[in-house]
Structures are given as structure tokens and as C-alpha cells.
Structure 1
């Protein structure tokens, strides 16, 4: 059951929805795919514990437009010849051909190892949000949120709304950095309102996790708060150190990277003439930046170039916010030294930190230790290794995700 379209959009988060909304005005055939069962990405993740605002529901409604075909639960297995991808859903594999491709692949949470981080009850900050929105009950659970960036406050709010007892929100950045960031929020009034709505009295800066404690599951967390160690009894720890752009498909296609993100021009074009990119995969910056980038990409891919000029200053404004946040919440070097020699770095294959730290590259580590060869295929330990050791990311190979033999055939 092969398919074709004029514009193929990968991802139905803020950027992908904005791209679809802009592109459909040109009367072209558009297909939107996402590996999640419901649209919205992480920030607008829809589930049994979620009540979306009317403005968000209006954005999701674009997928019902007659010129748009929406394929949830669909993953990219491989790029074939230029202009075609091999896809797979729960029922079968198939090939889709396109004239233009817009990558809105989002970002992954950066999880860095520390003693006890593999205990049941320990998740990423964004992962806790996803679990709660998909129905996980955490009512009454004592919870600690830790790591870096504005996501911590959003995760804490989600946990509180789900009935959890949030004891601490620990930000590793210094008070000077956090207050300096807050002092410039007047330039983005909507962010001031968000910050007020998410504010909590248990927020602490210059603080980070040292160790998760417990036997069979999490029982407490040892933290460094302003230079002093203390143990906090808890049933749940959500710890994330920012986000990493998801560039796997882009690199597989042959796109260039700028740092850790997909390199694009002012019209969101990559170096490949038929491929565009927008949102967190081009640099982490929040939903507002993702939406305006997605709109620009949708307009450019559908040939509506006249409408783009009015959006450029809007994008620059939100890019300035993203740059300010990146600078304010940069990781303290001490965070990279939390792991002990016997701390697992690759959880899938039980590879300790010491076994990987002595290697010179990801490829060498993989050959010697089997790191990255488990269920996550290096999505967790690979990003951690790049952050900890400065290794270059490996080139993605076919298949990009585990796939059925029938699909590959």
C-alpha cells in the first residue's frame, strides 16, 4: 500500500502542526506522520489525564483539513532513494513518496547518569509528564523534580495537578543565572504569565541530585542544596538536564548539522533542496519558536514565499528567548561528574561508566562493551556519552528503528 504526497511532514507537535496549517493554504496534498498514537508532541500530549485548552484544540483540528492525511503510530524505518521513505505502523510497512519533506522531529530529554538512576521510580522530568498524561497515577506520592531548565517547573506543575506531593524542585544553575534570566522576561510577556503560573515555594537553585537511594525501588534521594548534602524521602524522582535535538533522520538523509541541531537557512531549508526542518530539531527553543519556524517551513515548502517576510522578526524575537535560556541554564561541570565508576551508563546492556570512559569514541565503546545495542538503540546512553565525553554522534544506519522483517523485505 504505497502512498504519495506533495508535502510530507514528520512530527505533529507545535512545529509540525504549524507547518501543516501554513502549507494547506496552497491546496497541495499533505501527509503528516507521527510515531505517537495522538498528535500534539510532548507539550500538547493528549491522554486520559490531560485537558487541552481551546487554542490548542484548534491547532490540532488542522489535521482534519480535507487536504491533509494524518498517519499516527507511524515510524520512519529508512530513507530509500531521494524523495521516498520506508514507513511502518502497527499493521504493515509501506513506502511513501514526496515532493517536499519537512522535518519536525522534536527533541529528546538529556539523561545523565548518577548513582541509583536506574531504580524504579526514577524517570526524566519530561518522561514524568508523559507518563502522567498517559494515565500513570502518582496521587499522594512524594516527588522530587531535579535537573535544569524551565521544563522542571512544568513537570512539577503536572505532578501537582495529578495529586503528587512535590517536595523539592532543584535547579542546578546558579541563583545569579536564574535571576538574570527572569529579569529579562519582560521582553516576552507571555513567558512572565507562564512563570507566575508555574511558580512554587519549593524551587531551589544551585541544587542538584547526588544519588538516588533504595534497594528494590526509590526510597529517598540525596541532594546538594546550596553546597549542603541532605536526604529527602520520596517515592518518585524526575530528573532531566535539558533537551537534545532529534537529528537522526536528518543525518540519515544527508542534512548538515550546526552543533547538535539541523542547520537551516532563513526559510528553514536544509542543504538538501527538497528538505526543510523546523522546531526543536533545529535547536531547542520552546513551543513559540517551534510554531513560527513550522509556519515558515510550511510556507516555503508550498511556494508561498511572500508571506514569509512578516514572520522573520517574530522568529528572531523567540530565538532571542531561546538563546537567553540556553545561556542561563547551561550545565555546571559538576553535573558531568555525578557518575561513579560502577554507575550504569548504558542501562539496556548493563555497561558501567568506567567501561565506557576508557574508550576513545562511541564506535570503540560499542565494539568493546555492547553499549547502545539494547532496546533504546543508544538514544539514552548515546546522548549521555556525547555530553560526558565529547564524542561525535554515530551515523544512523538502516533500519533507524526496530522493524518487522516483512517491512524490510
Structure 2
């Protein structure tokens, strides 16, 4: 591959695959780097042969075995050696990958908000539960509850049903009035999304859908036995084997910040062409703001073309605008409300890596002070879980990115020159 037309892409979800496809179509060579062993990311999880979105299959068919396409699977980016060199870890150890043009498609993580019992075996994020089921975790004849806020609850419940689980309830934090407004906005401006939502509701018509509710506690005797919620001033308990608690998504900006790219409102800051504050790095998809698969695909194409100094075609523009408008609608409709803060009690663990409770964190003014006194954020996740949680609960600025951005073995680090 010649460096003049070589584009490096991190992340092989919808944004990364769309970027790779656009770059190949433009005559460039592509090196796609991903820590998973199959392409697709979270949205198109499962790899070729299990996808239901025709776009995924079409894009992968064009990429697979293409002479100008290199797919580095099982390759985790753990940081950067300098401004234009990625540090990665593979099964063989560590390596350095230099780049001249880079597209970041690093996706998002779930926002985990603490409540009593959220660290029990059987309790995961809603997206985490969906990923486990798609990955083959058996749930047939087991009972599932999904709770929190956002469309991901419906998607997770539908995935569980298809896998043979019993879904006892979908517990949505937003009130019915806001959900109705969201549905009407979809009908008026995003007809395709409205049809998708209606199809999901039809598939879930037998499942109780509780609105204006929040979790009180997950109940246990060492493993999850049920979940108690409050709605309309009453408490209701559902017995369950699995609880998927999801409160939205948080853009994954760790690598971008390590590379010196600016962020704003928790997402990678990009201009109209997806270029970051660095002139040789672009970003696309959920890492630039949560918006779903259509936004990811549209931004991935735009980022790759811009990185190659090309312009999008006229047919790309309407889809890009529509996907960004949908992202803004999602953000307004499903922003976690302050009432969710009441789920966290003084004795509730907030930092699960270091067993730090809310009561231990409350006396402190900011993340740095709390970290010095309590070890919050000093465990294996490096604040990736508790950092956004503390930002929501206490208004703290999340921790800075530090190297390595992911846990790495000494063997890998020692082999990087």
C-alpha cells in the first residue's frame, strides 16, 4: 500500500465499514483496525451471515478479499506513541502503526447509572445484555427485564424474545407524554424510523411497557432474583434472571483525546466534513454524537471522502441531514432526567472496580479530589464506567484520557519500540 492513498480507520462498526467502502470506491487503500474478530461493531454484531441489515452485507461483500483492503482484527488500540503513531496490542504482543490520515470510528459505551444491586451477577447494561445474547448466551425460558431509557430498551427486549426468553417488562423512565411527542415527530419527519419503531412495538405487544418509572433496587441472594421499580407512586417487583439496565450511550473519545483532538459536550468535535481539530484526523459515528446506524453510515462515508480530499455526492447530503436531525431528536427525547439520581443511595457502590460508595464521594468537589481520597476510577476500567456516572450524579468533569487507554499487558508494552 502506498502512503499517498492509504487511509487508516479505527473501528469496524457501521461508520468504519462505510468509511472503508467509500475509500476503496475512491481508489484508496484501507487499513481497518478493530479489537473484535468479526466486523460490525455493536449495531451489526455477529459478523457476516447473521446480519439483518442489507447494507452491512453489501458493504462487507465489497470489502472482503479486496486487494487494497487490510482488516486487522483482534487488534486493540491502547494509545499512541506520538502524534501519528498508534500503539496496538494483538495476540502476538505489541506493535506500532504509523498513519498519515486517520478516521476514528470508535463508537460509544453505555451510560451506567448506579442503583442498589447494579453490581449483582445477572445485571448488565441493556446493550451489554443484547450483545451477550447475540454472542450466544443462552436465555431460552429465562426471564428478562429491561429498564432505563431510550430505544435500545425495545431493541434489547426484541432480541431476548427472539432468543426464547420471557420478557417480564420494559421499564421506560420517560413519561408517556414525551414518548408520544417523540413518536409524532418520527411520523412527521422520519417516516422510516417510525415504521421501524411501530414494527418493534408490534413484536413486543405482549410485553408490559411501563413508562414514567425508575429502578428502586435489584433484589438478590448473591445473584439476581428480581427488580423493584417505582411508577405512579407505587412500587412493583418483577422476578427475573437477567436485568438489562440502560440509560443511553456515551461517545467513546479516549483515543481521540489521547491524540489531541478536541471534544465538546462529551463527543469528538468535528466540522462539517467530519474533520477533528487535527487536520489529519477525521471522526464519524457515535463517537461524534449518538444518532444510530444511519448517522454512522452517512458520516463514515463523508469522513473517508473528506480525508481523501473528495466531496460527497448530491445523493449523500439528504441522508446526512436527516440522520443528524434524528440524532438531535433522540438527545432531546431521551436525556436522562434528574429523577434518576435518586436511584443512587448513600451506600450504593458508584465505582465498582474499587468499591467506592456514593457516601464516600459526596464530600469531594471534583473528580481529582475524589480520586486522591477514595481511589475512584483507579481500577481496570480507568473511570470509563464510573466517570460518566459521576458526571451525571455530581456534575464532575470526566477524567482525562491517559495511556494506555485500555488495560494492556506488560508483554505487549515491552515489545513496542
TM-score of the pair, normalised by structure 2: 0.93
State how far apart, in whole Å, the 1-side matches of 2:274 and 2:53 are: 28
Instruction: State the match for 1:57 in structure 2.
Output: 57
Q: How many pairs does the alignment contain?
A: 406
State how far apart, in whole Å, the 2-side matches of 1:194 and 1:116 are: 33
Alignment of 1:250-289 (within 5 A): 250-289=256-295
Shift of 1:375: 2.2
Instruction: State the match for 1:158 in structure 2.
Output: 159
Instruction: State the match for 1:144 in structure 2.
Output: 145
Alignment of 1:341-380 (within 5 A): 341-380=346-385
Shift of 1:271: 1.0
**Mapped pair 1:320 → 2:322:** no
Name stretches of at least 5 consecutive residues in structure 2 with no aligned partner.
none
**Aligned-partner SS, 2:77:** strand
CA spacing shift, 1:50–1:224, aligned 2, 3 Å: farther
After the TM superposition, which of the residue ranges 56-65 and 163-172 deviates more from structure 2? Answer: 56-65
Instruction: State the match for 1:168 in structure 2.
Output: 169
CA spacing shift, 1:223–1:49, aligned 2, 3 Å: farther
Contact residue 33 and residue 74 of structure 1 kept, 8 A: yes
Shift of 1:282: 0.3
Contact residue 149 and residue 329 of structure 1 kept, 8 A: yes
**Mapped pair 1:225 → 2:227:** no
After the TM superposition, which of the residue ranges 196-205 and 246-255 deviates more from structure 2? Answer: 196-205
Alignment of 1:9-408 (within 5 A): 9-46=9-46, 50=50, 52-64=52-64, 65-186=66-187, 187-199=189-201, 200-201=204-205, 202-305=208-311, 307-308=312-313, 310-408=315-413
State how far apart, in whole Å, the 1-side matches of 2:157 and 2:37 are: 25
Contact residue 212 and residue 220 of structure 1 kept, 8 A: yes
State how far apart, in whole Å, the 2-side matches of 1:274 and 1:303 are: 11
**Aligned-partner SS, 2:100:** strand
Shift of 1:400: 1.3
Instruction: State the match for 1:8 in structure 2.
Output: 8
State how far apart, in whole Å, the 2-side matches of 1:72 and 1:46 are: 14
**Aligned-partner SS, 1:184:** helix
**Aligned-partner SS, 1:99:** coil
Spell out structure 1 runs of 4+ moving beyond 3 A: 47-55
Shift of 1:25: 2.0
Contact residue 114 and residue 344 of structure 2 kept, 8 A: yes
After the TM superposition, which of the residue ranges 99-108 and 217-226 deviates more from structure 2? Answer: 217-226
User: Any idea what the Cα deviations from partners look like across 1:182-219, whole Å, max 9, x if unmatched?
Assistant: 01212222212211221123222111211101111111
**Aligned-partner SS, 1:354:** helix
State how far apart, in whole Å, the 1-side matches of 2:4 and 2:124 are: 39
Shift of 1:314: 2.2
Shift of 1:26: 2.6
State how far apart, in whole Å, the 1-side matches of 2:310 and 2:251 are: 27
CA spacing shift, 1:389–1:49, aligned 2, 3 Å: farther
State how far apart, in whole Å, the 2-side matches of 1:407 and 1:63 are: 29
User: Any idea what the Cα deviations from partners look like across 1:36-75, whole Å, max 9, x if unmatched?
Assistant: 1211010110169945444422223343122110011111
Contact residue 220 and residue 234 of structure 1 kept, 8 A: yes
Name stretches of at least 5 consecutive residues in structure 1 with no aligned partner.
none
CA-atom RMSD in angstroms: 1.8
CA spacing shift, 1:401–1:21, aligned 2, 3 Å: same
Shift of 1:135: 1.0
